[in-house]
Structures are given as structure tokens and as C-alpha cells.
Amino acid sequence: MKANLTVHTQSHDYPIVITSQCDLAKEVAPYIKGKQVMVVTNTTVEKLYLQALVEGLQADFEVLTMVLPDGEQYKTQQYIDQIYDALMDNHCSRDVTLIALGGGVVGDMTGFAAASFMRGVNFIQIPTTLLSQVDSSVGGKTGINHPKGKNMIGAFWQPQMVLADMHTLTTLPQRELSAGMAEVIKYALIMDADFLTWLEDNMSALMSLDKVVLAEAVARCCQYKADIVAQDERESGKRALLNFGHTFGHVIETHEGYGKWLHGEAVAAGMVQAAQLSQKMGWISEADVQRISKVLQSAQLPIKPPVIDTQIALDLMQHDKKVKSGQIRLILLKSVGEAVVTADFDQSLLEAVLTETL
């Protein structure tokens, strides 16, 4: 099984290749520029896939590796500097290709290093988690965290290709699979009510790692994102819809400490909070909120945020990248399958959602 999608952007078009199992090196080799390659991965993925990829590339390329610690808490300037140091120490030139082999943290950091080293070099995404396959590897968002806010430092930098191999999902811990499913469910809630029904019908197969069903879900999500990125590469408008649940979720991640809650777990709880505010505004029903909660629970995701002081949560929301002229803007649901970006909500309703415990 193999599927190819294309992402259209102003800088260049690139493919998303979705396979059930493949030779990683063979797939990415045509998209490598020059002879120098650096594969960036983490300590977990290193043990699983790094050796085969490096051995597959060594016949034709000079291959360097950079193995980072595994975790959101390492998505910082300190560890980006380790990538820069290795590139400099090995006299890498502007035609080096960086390959991100791992989940969203590895992809974001490798992409940011590629965007900023010598003002921009070639890079390739090989996402090995569900979350990174359906979301962070596509669309060119790269970056690192700051102690005061998630993903506050970064750049838009499109990869040359994305290779999503369903086989890599078979080595995912259950918690990571669930975290990725949050982003899958997000697409249904903001763009396609029929997809939500499909997910409800197929959740058991997805959680059981049925590769055919997983590939269909990944392909659908990548197509949704590719369509949005083609319209709004740098998130000046419609692309912000992809942040449904994220403003609330980033509060959880920042407050609790990066890595304590996985990104998808925080987004899941955040989507329930966003749905609750949408319901309080009269846009969706209580039954819709319950349906959203139920499908998230079926993916073994949390639906309750940790206890966070309301004023602290509001202060953290002010660091969100969607804030304009001091106004918090949220992605809310007009209906299941239709989302909007709005600053037109009653502050007291937002505070009520932040104060409530489910």
C-alpha cells in the first residue's frame, strides 16, 4: 500500500508519501540535495530506525547523526545549539540536508535548525508518531519552546518531502498513539462531521493499529491540512483553525511543565473546553459536547484539564500567537464539523469554562 499527496505552497510543492512499510533510505534519497546529510533523532527512535536509515544512505552520502534526549522539555535553544555545533564542527555547507527522524519535537527542532542554519537548508520529515504524521510534519511550522510559552520561537520552513510509514506506529507506546488520535479527531471537529462518524465507527481498528485503517485516517488528515496550507501557508487566516483546542491545551502544557502532559493529551482536554464555550455561546448543544467527550475517551484521552487558577490561565492565554491587539482569539465550533476564529465572546463565559471542573 502506498499513497502520495501533494502540498502546494508559495515556496515549493512537495509530496507526502504514506506507506505501510518501506525502505526509508530508498524513499528519501531522491529528495536529498548535495552529499552531506545529518539525521536528527532522539534516544528512543535511535534504537528502532536510525541504523537502517543510515546504512541505507551511506553508499551515496556522507551521513552524520545527532541524537537528542526524548521529550518536550528538551525542545529548547540549548538543544538546537547542539545541532548547530555539529553542523559547524563537520563543516556542513549550504547544500546539507537535515532529516528529521522522530515525532513532533524532533521534526520541529530539525525544521527550525534547517530554517536558520546558513539562513535555510534542505530538510526532510520522517515522522514516526501518529501526531507528527497527521499534523506537525506537514505545513512547515518549525520552532522551539520558551519558558513563558510553547512554540514561541520558530519559522515557517517547508520540507522537501514527508514520509509517513505506518509500520513506525507499531512501536508507539499506547499513550503516544492516543495523543496522536487527538489531532485526528480535531480535523473531524473543525472540518468534516462525516469524518467524525467514520472515526466513531473505526476507533477500535485505529487503536488496534490496523495499518489499512490508520493509513486512511492519516491520508485524510494530511489532505485536510494540505488544503488549508495551500490557502494560508503562514497562518494569516484560515490555518489558525488547525489550532482548535490548542489555546486551552497550551495553557495546560506551559503550566504543568513541558512533557508532563503530552501535546495531544492537553489538546484533547482543550478541545472539550473549547466545545464547552461553544455550547455556552449557543452554537452547539450539550449533546454535541458529550459526543466530543465520548469519542476522545474512546481514544483513551483525558477530557478534564488539571486545576489551574483562572487568572493564571488567562495570563498564559495572552502569550498565544493568535492574540491581536491584546485580545485573545479562540477557535470555537459553530457546529460539529465547522470552526471559526473569533474574539467575539463573553469574557465571563470563558472564565466560567476555565473555572469549571467537569
Instruction: Please give the chain's pLDDT, 358 residues, in tens.
Output: 688 999 999 989 999 999 998 999 999 999 999 999 999 999 999 999 999 999 999 999 999 999 999 999 999 999 999 999 999 999 999 999 999 999 999 999 999 999 999 999 999 999 999 999 999 999 999 999 998 888 999 999 999 999 999 999 999 999 999 999 999 999 999 999 999 999 999 999 999 999 999 999 999 999 999 999 999 999 888 999 999 999 999 999 999 998 899 999 999 999 999 999 999 999 999 999 999 999 999 999 999 999 999 999 999 999 887 887 778 999 999 999 999 999 999 999 999 999 985 4
Q: Residue 162 region, left (φ>0) first, then alpha (ψ -120 to 50), else beta?
A: beta
Burial of 119 (0-12, 13-18, 19+ CB in 10 A): exposed
Q: Are 186 and 228 in contact (CB under 8 A)?
A: no
Measured between alpha carbons, how far is 294 from 272 in angstroms, rounded to an integer? 10
- pLDDT for the residue numbered 279: 98
- pLDDT at 236 (0 to 100): 84
Asked whether the beta carbons of 258 and 150 are under 8 A apart, the reply is yes
Q: What is the pLDDT of residue 358?
A: 43
Q: What is the pLDDT of residue 91?
A: 97
Q: Taking the complete model, does pTM exceed 0.85, yes or no?
A: yes
Residues acting as catalytic residues: 119, 141, 183, 225, 235, 239, 243, 246, 250, 263
pLDDT the model gives residue 258: 85
pLDDT given at position 1: 67
SS (H, E, C) 56-116: HHCCCCEEEEEEECCCHHHCCHHHHHHHHHHHHHCCCCCCCEEEEEECHHHHHHHHHHHHH
**Percent of the chain topping pLDDT 90:** 91
103 vs 292: CA distance, rounded Å: 26
Report pLDDT digits (tens) over 186-240.
999 999 999 999 999 999 999 999 999 999 999 999 999 999 999 999 988 899 9
pLDDT at residue 82, as a whole number: 98
pLDDT at 325: 74
Average pLDDT, the chain: 95
**CA distances from residue 172 to 39, 206, 268, 270, 303 in whole angstroms, order as listed:** 20, 13, 19, 23, 22
Q: If you search the block for the grid coordinates 463573553, which residue do you land on?
A: 346
User: If residue 155 lies in a helix (H) or strand (E), which one and from where to where?
Assistant: strand 149-156
Chain length of the chain = 358
